A and B are shown apart, each in its own frame.
Chain A
Amino acid sequence: MSSLLGLTAHQLQGLLEKKELSCAELVKAHLAKIEESDGEIKAFTRVTREAALEQAQAMDAQRSRGEGLAPLAGIPMALSDNLCTKGIVTTCSSRMLENFRPPYNATVVEKLQEAAAVLLGKCNLDEFGLGDSTESSAFFPTRNPHDLQASAGGACGGAAAAVAAQEVVFALGSDAGGSVRQPAAFCGVIGLKPTYGLVSGYGLIAAGSSLDQVGCFTRDFTDGALVLESICGADVQDSNSVSSPHTDFTKHLVNDVKGLKIGLPKEYIEGVAPKVKTAYEQAVAKLEELGAVCEELSLPHTKYALPCYEIVLAAEASSNLARYDGVRYGLRVEAEDVESMYNKTRGQGFGEEAKKQILFGTYVLSAQQYQDYYLKALKVRTLIKQELEQALEKYDCLLTPTTPTVAFNLAGKGKNHHGRGGVQTHGLTCPASLAGLPAVSFPFGKAQGRPIGLQLIGRAFGEGMLLRVGYTLEQNTDLTQLSPAVKGER
């Protein structure tokens, strides 16, 4: 049974089709794995065991009638708890929404239901997606399955850890500046953030609306392509969603990078840990060996990306989080008048990090500061976008490390891993978010027992190119396939 764990969706689909495996067996095996490991890892805020088993049985019945053979049919998966699920509590890892049951599904949830994937539960994240370690979750931090002392990353650390710990086959999360890619790098899985608008954001509880993009965690690039094909597409409920003509992602899974031009932006290597740099150089060497042309280039505005991203994210989050006022849904702390009710509800409902972001965001949007902070950040954002787009006119994609270091240690109960809090380890991932470009993080070896992640950044709607380069590396080196993350393993 345990041999099922760690397989990819496309491998499992083969077994299901040949009737060597039933959905019920598959789901039970993963539920058992959650039972066994999640006490320590804490990837899940809620496990939807009964519904999952019921669905698996229904799937088996369908299969016996020759139905339900879609690529993701019967595959166990998880959702970050900021994706709304109809009738299933969606907390955003906040006290504010601890008992909030959305009366609607996020569009991606609807799409996965159509694809007949089986939901096993909702995953922990930094409160309202604000953070990079899951330590700002109101409930608990998620541990890194490769090293329980280490953070799983964030914001969507729970979803990354669930895939890495083999508790599910794939998961969805959201990425505003690295919240899919950074935890994917820390947990040694693939984390794909599509082009802004390729996947509908309806039903994703917003952090930074101009940055937020639903993405996926998978074990290999083929699964990445399959999941992306299932969830992409224009949505009338999301005005920013677009319909792309290039959504036959599996077609790009080609083992060939000959003649491709890959840019290596030198600013992304500055200050990167030696072992991460070594892995990066190995990847470059491998790509060159396979016939790609790798070239160093300079993107001088990169250093402004993090402060720019912090301002935009906080500004938008401060406004997005204002609706949690105790009037209509979510937490309400009763008080003598409406003003005190607001203060008490928001004072008790939000954690440290959310409050910091609200304060900072309110400040940068205030009449006196708008010009100097928010407006300036928008201008810098345009420069970063132009710079990346120009580079991508010359190169098929860019290769960078995902994070400057491997996963950091968890700070311990009630603390944050760095004094300032926030999203500081998103420095190399946020430029693609500011520019709305697709990017993917993939594992490439380990250092001190913790996974190293590298990142590919592509042209708008150029997910296919990223999948092709990643797939080729996957086919030609073992470094992208980390040994399963098992408790205590080094």
Chain B
Amino acid sequence: MATAYEAVIGLEVHVELKTNTKIFCSCTTEFGGDPNTHVCPGCLGFPGTLPVMNKKAVEYAVRAGLALNCAINPYSRFDRKNYFYPDLPTAYQISQYFHPICKEGYVEIELGGKKKKIRINRIHLEEDAGKLLHSGSSITSSQYSMADYNRASVPLIEIVSEPDMRSPEEARAYLEKLRAILEYTGVSDVKMEQGSLRCDANISLRPVGSTEFGTKTEIKNMNSFRSLQRALEYEIDRQQDVLEEGGTIIQETRGWDEEKGITSSMRSKEEATDYRYFPDPNLPPIVLDPAWIKTIKASLPELPDARKERLVKECGLSEYDAGIITSSRSLAEFFDRTVVLFNEPKTVANWMMGEYLRLLNAEGLEVSESKVTPEKLAALLKLQADGKISGKMAKVVFEELFNTGKEPETIVKEKGMVQISDTGALEEIVMKVLAANPQSVADYQAGKEKAIGFLVGQVMKETKGQANPGIVNQLLKKKLSE
């Protein structure tokens, strides 16, 4: 008898905060830059230098905590996590182990119409490490490695969930929701490709119905939402195979290999480092004023769930469309701004859900990187609404707008696309088409109303698609009933 298993998943998510300067020195946090140009004696761990807390990082952590329904600890403190690695200048990472800044929050996810709360255990502030570039494939197999400390000491928050997720889809939904909320709060760019959002997963299996946890593995190196889901799917299969063969799961850290589509062991629990956490004597505790926390709470923007509800209720969008449009702040803002200029929310939503997202995804672009602005989209929609271009033309114009950023009006002119809505001009063509197709005329007059479709098509053909189909329709009906 095969046992049915259920997965128990928890995520540890690292988020780079979008402060201007690093967490303990005044170096810039700008992404990129030549190696070791965004560094100073402090973030290089030179002897005698001392960390000085960046207040903005504290504010951002609190902001994130509040948006994720956390309690904010009025007293938190920094600890040292001690380990040796060449990307870590002081050989300890300043983090919060004993007293994190936020605790006990949650995120609500929705899958197949069902809502579920995923609890957050804690959020703590910490510094990032630098980056190593190996001449070979790893530090041990390389002739040499180069260290770039530009990223060292960039502020991070680590968001630790409870083991509340039961499937890879739930884990993905949680991470996507987390990303959306954090993007709304403006504390981070939350870009997985640039590493400003990073995710590790803890996963174990247990027989359905059991309340005890099985032995877990920790999965690292997942660089996209898709790879998170794939890695967890793979790991569930792997663990299930081991259990079904009567084996035991080894508690270990496993790395996800995107190309091979497998996880493989990185280190076992026995090889795990004892980090020797202790309070960092160089940094006084963070003591927060409740009034200050209130001010931050008051400054939070409308968050994805509230915004979605508004789009459904006030704009009449479907749950699905509203969900997609509010999944990122930039998309939601794009929608709002476009609707202000062109007050037909459903049309705007259709365009965004259809052409716009399709092209964005195809090009791998963010809303902020695209040449389409709410003003330009609204202008295009107006041209269509005013009958100046057809729906088909509008799609062509949009693609051109997406690629070049030109004004829709300009594109229409350049392409000579102006729709013929001039009744006089069309009447002549309509008469010509009627004369050339007596059979269709007879069919229509005999009650076959469908025949008019063929006649419209003929007029469009004659005008190379530039005729206004509505007017053509009216003209045909008028002539046929004369």
Which of B82, B86, B92, B280 is in CB contact (< 8 Å) with A338? Answer: B86
Q: Which residues of chain A are near B48, meaning CB under 8 Å?
A: 83-84, 102, 104, 106, 202-206
**Counting chain B CB atoms within 10 Å of each CB, which of A92, A202, A325, A337 scores highest?**
A325
Question: Are B278 and A374 in contact (CB-based, < 8 A)?
Answer: yes
Question: Are B89 and A236 in contact (CB-based, < 8 A)?
Answer: no
Question: Are B49 and A367 in contact (CB-based, < 8 A)?
Answer: no
Choose, from A2-10, A22-30, A251-259, A314-322, the stretch at the interface.
Answer: A314-322
Kindly provide the distance from the CB of A306 to the nearest chain B CB, expressed in whole angstroms.
Answer: 19
Which residue of chain B is the closest to A201 with respect to CB atoms?
A: B50
Is A248 an interface residue, CB under 8 A from the partner?
Answer: no
Cα–Cα, bound, A323→B47 (Å): 8
With A202-B49, A206-B47 in contact, do A240 and B284 touch (Cβ < 8 Å)?
Answer: yes
Q: List CB contacts (< 8 Å) of B32-78 with chain A.
A: 41, 44-53
Cα–Cα, bound, A367→B275 (Å): 8
Cα–Cα, bound, A264→B53 (Å): 41
With A209-B282, A239-B283, A366-B274 in contact, do A92 and B89 touch (Cβ < 8 Å)?
Answer: no
Question: Are A205 and B41 in contact (CB-based, < 8 A)?
Answer: no
Which residue of chain B is the closest to A209 with respect to CB atoms?
A: B281
With A84-B47, A102-B47 in contact, do A322 and B82 touch (Cβ < 8 Å)?
Answer: yes
With A202-B50, A209-B282, A322-B91 in contact, do A327 and B276 touch (Cβ < 8 Å)?
Answer: no
Cα–Cα, bound, A203→B89 (Å): 17
Interface size on A, residues (CB 8 A): 44
Q: Which residues of chain B are near A236, meaning CB under 8 Å?
A: 52
Which of B47, B50, B86, B91 is in CB contact (< 8 Å) with A237? Answer: B50
With A102-B48, A323-B47, A366-B274 in contact, do A240 and B282 touch (Cβ < 8 Å)?
Answer: yes
Cα–Cα, bound, A338→B141 (Å): 10
Cα–Cα, bound, A243→B47 (Å): 24
Cα–Cα, bound, A370→B429 (Å): 93
Cα–Cα, bound, A106→B50 (Å): 11
Is A97 an interface residue, CB under 8 A from the partner?
Answer: yes
Kindly provide the distance from the CB of A287 to the nearest chain B CB, expressed in whole angstroms.
Answer: 36
Which residue of chain B is the closest to A103 with respect to CB atoms?
A: B41
Kindly provide the distance from the CB of A186 to the nearest chain B CB, expressed in whole angstroms.
Answer: 26
Cα–Cα, bound, A83→B48 (Å): 8
Question: Are B47 and A100 in contact (CB-based, < 8 A)?
Answer: yes
Question: Are A338 and B139 in contact (CB-based, < 8 A)?
Answer: yes
Q: List CB contacts (< 8 Å) of B269-316 with chain A.
A: 274, 276-278, 280-284
Is B147 an interface residue, CB under 8 A from the partner?
Answer: yes
Q: Which residues of chain A are near B46, meaning CB under 8 Å?
A: 102-104, 328-329
Interface size on B, residues (CB 8 A): 32
**Counting chain A CB atoms within 10 Å of each CB, which of B91, B274, B277 scores highest?**
B91
Kindly provide the distance from the CB of B354 to the nearest chain A CB, expressed in whole angstroms.
Answer: 53
Question: Are A328 and B282 in contact (CB-based, < 8 A)?
Answer: no
Is A281 an interface residue, CB under 8 A from the partner?
Answer: no
Q: List CB contacts (< 8 Å) of B234-250 with chain A.
A: none
Q: Which residues of chain A are near B91, meaning CB under 8 Å?
A: 319, 322-323, 325
Is A40 an interface residue, CB under 8 A from the partner?
Answer: no
Question: Are A362 and B281 in contact (CB-based, < 8 A)?
Answer: no
Is A365 an interface residue, CB under 8 A from the partner?
Answer: yes
Question: Are A362 and B50 in contact (CB-based, < 8 A)?
Answer: no
Cα–Cα, bound, A90→B47 (Å): 10
Which of B52, B84, B86, B276 is in CB contact (< 8 Å) with A239? Answer: B52
Is B368 an interface residue, CB under 8 A from the partner?
Answer: no
Cα–Cα, bound, A328→B88 (Å): 10
Question: Are B45 and A323 in contact (CB-based, < 8 A)?
Answer: yes
Q: Which residues of chain B are near A110, meaning CB under 8 Å?
A: none
Is A210 an interface residue, CB under 8 A from the partner?
Answer: yes
Q: Which residues of chain B are near A203, meaning CB under 8 Å?
A: 48-49
The 10 closest A-B pairs by CB, nearest first: A322-B91, A210-B281, A365-B276, A209-B281, A203-B48, A205-B47, A84-B48, A323-B90, A323-B45, A327-B86
- Chain A residues in the interface with B (C-beta under 8 A): 83-84, 90, 92, 97, 100, 102-104, 106, 201-206, 208-210, 236-240, 315-316, 318-319, 322-325, 327-329, 337-338, 342, 362, 365-367, 370, 374
* A-B CB contact pairs (8 Å), 25 listed: A102-B46, A103-B41, A104-B41, A104-B49, A106-B48, A202-B49, A202-B50, A203-B48, A208-B281, A209-B280, A238-B50, A238-B52, A239-B52, A316-B278, A318-B276, A322-B82, A322-B91, A323-B91, A328-B44, A328-B46, A337-B140, A338-B139, A365-B276, A367-B276, A370-B276
